[in-house]
Amino acid sequence: MSEQDDIRAMATRFFDAIEAGDIETMQDSFTPDAEIWHNTDELIVTPAQTAQTLTGMASRIRDREYADRQLTVFPGGFVQQHVLKGVRVHDGVSVRLPCAIICKAENGKITRLDEYFDSAHVAEFRKFANA
Protein backbone atom coordinates (compact mmCIF):
# COMPACT_ATOMS: atom_id res chain seq x y z
CA MET A 1 0.00 0.00 0.00
CA SER A 2 1.34 3.45 -0.87
CA GLU A 3 1.54 6.39 1.54
CA GLN A 4 -1.39 8.03 -0.22
CA ASP A 5 -3.47 4.84 0.06
CA ASP A 6 -2.67 4.73 3.79
CA ILE A 7 -3.69 8.39 4.19
CA ARG A 8 -6.93 7.79 2.26
CA ALA A 9 -7.79 4.81 4.49
CA MET A 10 -6.94 6.77 7.67
CA ALA A 11 -9.04 9.77 6.57
CA THR A 12 -11.99 7.51 5.82
CA ARG A 13 -11.67 5.77 9.22
CA PHE A 14 -11.43 9.16 10.95
CA PHE A 15 -14.67 10.56 9.48
CA ASP A 16 -16.49 7.21 9.72
CA ALA A 17 -15.60 7.12 13.44
CA ILE A 18 -17.01 10.60 14.09
CA GLU A 19 -20.13 9.76 12.12
CA ALA A 20 -20.60 6.65 14.30
CA GLY A 21 -19.86 8.49 17.55
CA ASP A 22 -16.66 6.43 18.03
CA ILE A 23 -14.66 9.17 19.73
CA GLU A 24 -11.86 6.82 20.82
CA THR A 25 -11.04 5.86 17.22
CA MET A 26 -11.29 9.50 16.17
CA GLN A 27 -8.89 10.60 18.91
CA ASP A 28 -6.49 7.74 18.11
CA SER A 29 -6.21 9.13 14.56
CA PHE A 30 -4.14 12.03 15.93
CA THR A 31 -0.56 12.15 17.16
CA PRO A 32 -0.50 13.07 20.87
CA ASP A 33 0.86 16.54 20.06
CA ALA A 34 -1.44 17.21 17.08
CA GLU A 35 -2.85 20.70 16.62
CA ILE A 36 -6.49 21.27 15.63
CA TRP A 37 -7.33 24.79 14.42
CA HIS A 38 -10.83 26.23 13.88
CA ASN A 39 -11.51 29.17 11.61
CA THR A 40 -14.54 30.20 13.68
CA ASP A 41 -12.57 31.00 16.84
CA GLU A 42 -8.98 30.88 15.48
CA LEU A 43 -7.92 28.68 18.40
CA ILE A 44 -5.59 25.71 18.33
CA VAL A 45 -6.81 22.85 20.51
CA THR A 46 -5.56 19.39 21.43
CA PRO A 47 -6.90 15.99 20.41
CA ALA A 48 -8.33 15.60 23.96
CA GLN A 49 -10.20 18.91 23.67
CA THR A 50 -11.49 17.87 20.25
CA ALA A 51 -12.66 14.55 21.71
CA GLN A 52 -14.57 16.44 24.40
CA THR A 53 -16.20 18.73 21.82
CA LEU A 54 -17.17 15.82 19.56
CA THR A 55 -18.52 13.79 22.49
CA GLY A 56 -20.87 16.70 23.19
CA MET A 57 -21.81 17.01 19.53
CA ALA A 58 -22.53 13.28 19.30
CA SER A 59 -24.88 13.53 22.29
CA ARG A 60 -26.75 16.50 20.78
CA ILE A 61 -26.87 15.46 17.10
CA ARG A 62 -28.26 12.10 16.03
CA ASP A 63 -28.29 10.45 12.60
CA ARG A 64 -24.93 12.02 11.78
CA GLU A 65 -23.77 11.67 8.19
CA TYR A 66 -20.74 13.04 6.38
CA ALA A 67 -22.47 13.56 3.02
CA ASP A 68 -20.97 14.57 -0.29
CA ARG A 69 -17.44 13.63 0.79
CA GLN A 70 -14.81 14.90 -1.59
CA LEU A 71 -11.47 13.55 -0.39
CA THR A 72 -8.24 14.59 -2.07
CA VAL A 73 -5.06 12.94 -0.84
CA PHE A 74 -1.57 14.31 -1.41
CA PRO A 75 1.87 13.40 -0.06
CA GLY A 76 1.80 14.17 3.65
CA GLY A 77 -1.91 14.86 4.04
CA PHE A 78 -5.40 15.32 2.67
CA VAL A 79 -8.23 17.77 2.09
CA GLN A 80 -11.86 16.83 2.49
CA GLN A 81 -14.97 18.82 1.70
CA HIS A 82 -18.25 17.47 3.02
CA VAL A 83 -21.58 18.37 4.54
CA LEU A 84 -22.10 17.09 8.07
CA LYS A 85 -25.80 16.38 8.42
CA GLY A 86 -27.80 15.34 11.44
CA VAL A 87 -30.84 15.91 13.60
CA ARG A 88 -30.75 17.92 16.83
CA VAL A 89 -31.90 15.72 19.70
CA HIS A 90 -33.38 18.67 21.61
CA ASP A 91 -35.94 19.74 19.00
CA GLY A 92 -35.78 17.25 16.12
CA VAL A 93 -34.60 19.88 13.62
CA SER A 94 -32.37 18.74 10.74
CA VAL A 95 -29.07 20.59 10.59
CA ARG A 96 -26.24 20.72 8.08
CA LEU A 97 -22.69 21.98 8.31
CA PRO A 98 -20.71 22.48 5.07
CA CYS A 99 -17.05 22.11 5.84
CA ALA A 100 -13.54 21.91 4.46
CA ILE A 101 -10.83 20.10 6.41
CA ILE A 102 -7.12 20.23 5.62
CA CYS A 103 -4.86 17.74 7.38
CA LYS A 104 -1.17 17.02 7.58
CA ALA A 105 -0.31 13.41 8.36
CA GLU A 106 2.77 11.39 9.27
CA ASN A 107 3.08 7.66 9.90
CA GLY A 108 -0.68 7.10 9.61
CA LYS A 109 -1.66 9.81 12.11
CA ILE A 110 -2.94 13.38 11.77
CA THR A 111 -0.42 15.95 13.02
CA ARG A 112 -2.38 19.08 12.11
CA LEU A 113 -6.05 19.61 11.23
CA ASP A 114 -7.44 22.94 10.01
CA GLU A 115 -11.22 23.11 9.81
CA TYR A 116 -13.24 25.71 7.96
CA PHE A 117 -16.92 26.13 8.83
CA ASP A 118 -19.49 28.84 8.22
CA SER A 119 -20.18 30.27 11.69
CA ALA A 120 -23.94 30.54 11.01
CA HIS A 121 -24.10 26.78 10.43
CA VAL A 122 -22.01 26.15 13.56
CA ALA A 123 -24.50 28.21 15.60
CA GLU A 124 -27.35 25.93 14.45
CA PHE A 125 -25.36 22.83 15.42
CA ARG A 126 -24.60 24.30 18.85
CA LYS A 127 -28.01 25.90 19.45
CA PHE A 128 -28.81 23.76 22.50
CA ALA A 129 -25.21 22.99 23.54
CA ASN A 130 -25.75 24.54 26.97
CA ALA A 131 -29.33 23.34 27.47
- DSSP-derived letter for residue 107 is T
Integer Cα distance of 99 and 108 in angstroms: 23
One pLDDT digit (tens) per residue for the chain, 131 residues: 688 999 999 999 999 999 999 999 999 999 999 999 999 889 999 999 999 999 988 999 999 999 999 999 999 999 999 999 999 999 999 999 999 999 999 999 999 999 998 877 666 666 666 65
The structure's pTM equals: 0.88
Integer Cα distance of 49 and 9 in angstroms: 24
Fold type of domain 3-125: Nuclear Transport Factor 2; Chain: A, (3.10.450)
Domain assignments of the chain as residue spans, ordered by start: 3-125
- Across-strand partners of 103? 78, 113
- Cβ-proximal residues to 54 (8 Å cutoff; 6+ apart), any chain: 18, 23, 26
